[in-house]
Chains A and B, each alone.
Chain A
Amino acid sequence: MAQTQAEIVPVLTRRQSRAPKEVLQDWLPKLVLAPSFAIVLLFVYGFILFTVVLSFTGSKLLPDFSTWVGFSNYVRLFNHPNWLTSLKNLAIFASLYVIVCSVLGLGLAILLDQKIRAEGLIRPIYLYPMALSFIVTGVAWKWFLDPGIGLEHIVKDLGWESFSFRWIKDGQMAIYTIVIAAVWQSSGFVMAMFLAGLRGVDNEVIKAAQIDGASTVTIYRRIIIPLMRPVFLSAFVVLAHLAIKSYDLVVAMTDGGPGTSTWTPALFMQKFTFGRNEMGMGASSAIIMMMMIFSIIVPYLYSELRGERRT
């Protein structure tokens, strides 16, 4: 603290015209933010750089900067069948997850917005899954979908003997069970986002449309949903980066199985870096994942910031 005062004093003497309190007010936010800024700089951007460098080395068990292998980690990565499976799964998972969550979330929000009774009770019920960790969701759905103890077993016990739902045990279908669990977890959250958006719509506009004789469906289709554009964008960004990072849900539900059919890039990164002592390849997969996330976040931030400047 003594040092900071010493820094401020010369400033004060130089600018006689301003009151000391005002100058302090100018400086205080910067001073308070400086430590966290430095920490973020080191631990986020510093380590991103560290990982980039790592991905060009032949590191196995521990980081090893003496072996420089160029792009060979990336070449091996894109020749590895497990990485290709991971990418394919990510494409299926991310697209279904984002689309179904958005549609379900919007639908629920519109229904909830009809000034129904007990909304205060129903809303938290839909939101509650978001309060669970993905591990809990994963374990619960793993048991629920297990043909031996879960849904199939119960339905068969109830008398429908030919009922069969064994996607989680089927390499072709298992990735879709993860979509189901993830949608169950997140659609309530998306609903809350849309609900907030719907509540923000100006009533005057709707009333004007009603006077013009527009039906409720038309009002939603032509006026309200187009007004939700920024919410769609936010929901997309939140869901898409969750999808790319999806790890805990997969680990809890299938741990990549049956076989290697539900591997995702995050799972690949963890297994290669820590399980297979291929730190170089793990780092290169992490970099690819980061590039995917950046390609979503950066345009979003750009459009947001540009929007701010305009207003």
Chain B
Amino acid sequence: MRKMILKAALAALLVSPAAVAVAADEVEVLHWWTSGGEAAALDVLKKKLESQGVTWKDMPVAGGGGEQAMTALRARVTAGNPPTAVQALGFDITDWANQGVLGDLNPVADKEGWDKVVPEALQKFSKHDGKWIAAPVNVHTTNWIWINKKALDAAGGKAPETWDELIAVLDKMKENGISPIGHGGQAWQDATIFDAVVLAEGTDFYKASMVDLDPAALNSDKMVGVFDKMAKLKEYVDADFSGRDWNLASAMVIEGKAGMQFMGDWAKGEFLKAGQKPGTDFVCVRFPGTQGAATFNADQFMMFKVGDDKLKAQEMMASDIMSPEFQSAFNVVKGSAPARTDVADTDFDDCGKKAIKDLAEANSNGKLFGSMAHGHANPAAVKNAMYDVITRHFNGEMDSKQAAQELADAVAAAKG
């Protein structure tokens, strides 16, 4: 028996160099881009790596937002066998970095000068303690309004630029017999609108309340005003909004049953899929009062610490992700803006061009912030505590004054 074990061990020793040689050119990628458009976008990267002789070991875990993917990742990391690269969002990356399990991309990043081209607000997540730990793939800005052009024309034809104009358009749409706002009553969707309303109160206020979590800003008259505006917007939502998925809300706008939707630019994909053209069938504008500023969320591939045998392939993948050609090709398909500011916008549609221009402008003016609703302004525990209050207020369970008070309390409790 013992002899047999010895033999097996010897055999394994003899075989292992070959096994290492195979693994050297392989990346294992955990992600949740499984739906049609997303999978097609990811395929661009896969093809590119394969042309460089790197095998792509796919590990998709379906479920938008990536909650299931993160659960799967927990198991892999606890077992001491993390994948090469994992799709991740915002503070999830920071959380993992704090566990000390992420690699160091500085050799590639320094060589290719990532520091200069990636927006600073984004670097906050891609870097940890001065080390690049993740390669950003895209930037979605979230303070958009998507308006049905026909419905807008019937309501005066001018896209709203101030809060009062917005209310006027919404009133007109209501008179015209459609539900003015296409919205789905899920906590993150309520929070997406909330994000934009807070940002419209000024970037300083956004930073103080959502990023710095200043109790004085959270429970302030300004915040009560924000909640009042949320309650006002609620009046323009149809009665059956609760629980509706965001893409169904987009469909309402596309079909003309609803006038407009407040949503990040992934919504554009729904409009394009339905054969609509930006400018002629639908209009994309920033939420009134937020032109020049932007809230974002960004998909990144965080890179785990791997053995030296896999390092080469990992660095190759990171380098490919950051190449301008890939950033352009991927984001044209995905509907987002590139994660570096020096990518040509020639292949993008009008809304894409606007996204790239707005992003660069907000970045250079220091008015680009991580989106609270999408986990880029504060950690998951705080974000969800905010969700609770925002969604309960939006569903009429409390008044604005109480909501501001509870918001401050809930954040304090979640921080503890």
Identify which of residues 169-217 in chain B touch chain A, using a CB-to-CB cut-off of 8 Å: 185-187
With known contacts A62-B99, A254-B243, A260–B384 Cβ distance under 8 A: no
A123 at the interface (CB under 8 A from B): no
Residues B413 and A260 in contact, CB atoms below 8 Å apart:
no
- Kindly state the separation between the CA atoms of A260 and B384 in the bound complex, as whole angstroms: 11
Q: What's the Cα separation between A147 and B240 when bound, in Å?
A: 7
Number of chain B interface residues as a range: 20 to 34
B239 contacts A169, CB within 8 Å?
A: yes
**A58 nearest CB across to chain B (Å):** 10
B379 touches A277 (CB 8 A): yes
Alpha-carbon separation in the docked complex, A76 to B379 (Å): 18
Of the listed residues B243, B394, B395, B413, the one surrounded by the most CB atoms of chain A closer than 10 A to its CB is: B243
B71 at interface, CB cutoff 8 A: yes
Q: Indicate whether A124 reaches chain B with its CB closer than 8 angstroms.
A: no
Is A258 in contact with chain B by the CB < 8 A criterion? yes
Most buried by B among A79, A168, A276: A276
- Cβ < 8 Å to B, chain A residues 30-73: 60-63
How far apart are the CA atoms of A76 and B415 in the complex, in Å? 11
Chain B residue numbers with a CB within 8 Å of A137 are none
B77–A260 CB distance below 8 A: no
Question: Are A257 and B416 in contact, CB atoms less than 8 angstroms apart?
Answer: no
Count the A residues whose beta carbon is within 8 Å of the partner chain — how many? 30
Contacts A171-B395, A260-B392 hold; do A275 and B380 have CB atoms under 8 A apart? yes
For residue B255, CB closer than 8 A to chain A, the reply is no
Convert A263-278 into 0s and 1s, putting 1 for each residue whose CB lies closer than 8 angstroms to a CB of B: 0000000010011111
A146 within 8 A of B: yes
A259 touches B395 (CB 8 A): yes
Contact B397 A259 (CB under 8 A): yes
Residue in B closest to A172 when the chains form the complex, CB atoms:
B397
**B96 at interface, CB cutoff 8 A:** yes
A271 touches B384 (CB 8 A): yes
Nearest Cβ distance between residue B416 and chain A, in whole angstroms?
A: 7
> How far is it, in angstroms, between the C-alpha of A95 and the C-alpha of B77 when the chains are bound?
41
A274 and B397 contacting across the interface, CB-CB below 8 Å:
no
* A275 x B67 contact (CB < 8 A): yes
Closest 7 CB pairs of A and B: A259-B395, A148-B240, A258-B242, A259-B392, A169-B242, A276-B384, A61-B95
Report which B residues bind A (CB closer than 8 A). Answer: 67, 70-71, 74, 77-78, 95-96, 98-99, 185-187, 239-240, 242-243, 379-381, 384, 388, 391-392, 394-397, 410, 413, 416
10 contacts between A and B (CB under 8 A): A60-B95, A61-B98, A61-B99, A62-B74, A62-B78, A79-B413, A81-B388, A257-B243, A261-B395, A277-B381
Interface contacts beyond A261-B395, A277-B379: sample of 10 additional A-B pairs, CB < 8 Å, sorted by A: A61-B96, A61-B99, A81-B388, A148-B240, A169-B242, A171-B395, A257-B185, A260-B388, A260-B391, A277-B381
